[in-house]
Amino acid sequence: MILIKKSSDLLSHISELKKANRIIGFVPTMGALHDGHLSLIESAKQKCDIVVCSIFVNPTQFNQASDLASYPRTLENDIRLLLSKSCDILFHPEIDEVYGNLLEKESSEDYGSFIHVLEGASRPGHFDGVVTVLRKLFLLVQPNQVYFGQKDYQQCLVVKTLIQRSFQDIVFNLCPIAREKDGLAMSSRNVRLNQSEREVAPKIFESLQLVAQNWTITNWELGLNQAQVNLQKPPFQFEYLCACDPMSLDSLTHFQSNAIILVAVQLGSTRLIDNILVGS
C-alpha cells in the first residue's frame, strides 16, 4: 500500500493510473476504521483494479468543536487494517492540503427537501461540509466507483445527488450496514461508549427490528410508537425514530410498503444513528 499525504503526489499517481486505464475504486473515510469500512474496501476490491481509501477528519462537517476534537484518531491501527485488506493507496492529507488556507463550505441547501430533515435538522451545516470535502476528494481521486455504507443513509442520498449533478461518470455503490453480534451498527463513535452504555446500545437495532416485524397496514403505527417509547427512556436521549419514504425522506403519514426507518439517539456523550429498510 502506498501512503500519500500531498494532493499533488496523489494527482500525479492517479494520472499514471488513468493513462493505464485502471478502474479506480474509492472509499472515503474519517479513519477509526472498523469492519464496516473494511467491508467497503472488500467490495471495492472485487470490482476495481486499484482501491484508494482516504482518511481525513473533515473539520467542516462537524457542528460541534468538541465532537471534532474527540473524534477517534487511530492511524496506526487503520494502516494495519488497510494492509490486511490489500488496499492499494491510502490518502491521508493534512487540512491545508485539502482546503488551502480557507475552511470554506459550499451549500447543499438546494439538494432537495430531504437535506433539511433528520440529520440535516439536527446537525446544521453538516451536509454542506460533506459535499464540500467529497467534491474536493472526488476531483483528486477521480474514481470510477465509490463505496458508501447504508448506516449514513441520508448521507448516501446527498452523495448520489452530488454525483448526479457534478460527477455523472462515477458509479455509486450502497453497501449494507455492518453490525456487531448483538446488532449494534458498527461506528467509529462506538469506542466512546462506556460499559453500561455499550450494554444497552443494542436496544437501538432491536427497536428498528420491532418496527420491521410490525410493518403491515394494520400494525405499522403501533410498532413505530412502541419503538419510540423504548428509546425515550433513560439512558437514551431520544432524537428521532421515524418512518420515511426511502427517496424523499418525507415522513410517512400513511402506510406504504417500501420505507426506511431511521433513528438517532444520544447515549451519554455519544450520538448514534441507525436505520433499516422495510417492505418488499
Residues forming the active site: 37
Residue 122 vs 209, nearer CB to ligand PAF: 122
Minimum gap (Å) between residue 15 Cβ and ligand PAF: 23
> Which grid coordinates are listed for 219?
400494525
List strands edge to edge, sheet with 2-4: 2-4, 89-91, 50-55, 24-29, 145-149, 171-175
Contact between 244 and 250 under an 8 Å Cβ cutoff? The reply is: yes
> Which grid coordinates are listed for 249?
425522506
Contact between 55 and 89 under an 8 Å Cβ cutoff? The reply is: no
273 alpha carbon, distance to own chain's centre: 10
Minimum gap (Å) between residue 170 Cβ and ligand PAF: 14
Residue 50 vs 137, nearer CB to ligand PAF: 137
- Please identify which residue in the block is written with the cell numbers 481509501: 53
Minimum gap (Å) between residue 149 Cβ and ligand PAF: 7
Residue 162 vs 227, nearer CB to ligand PAF: 162
Minimum gap (Å) between residue 230 Cβ and ligand PAF: 27
Parallel/antiparallel/unpaired status of strands 89-91 and 236-244: unpaired
Residue 155 vs 207, nearer CB to ligand PAF: 155
Question: Cα separation of 62 and 230, whole Å?
Answer: 28
Binding residues for ligand PAF, per CB under 6 A? 28-30, 58, 61, 130, 133-134, 152, 155
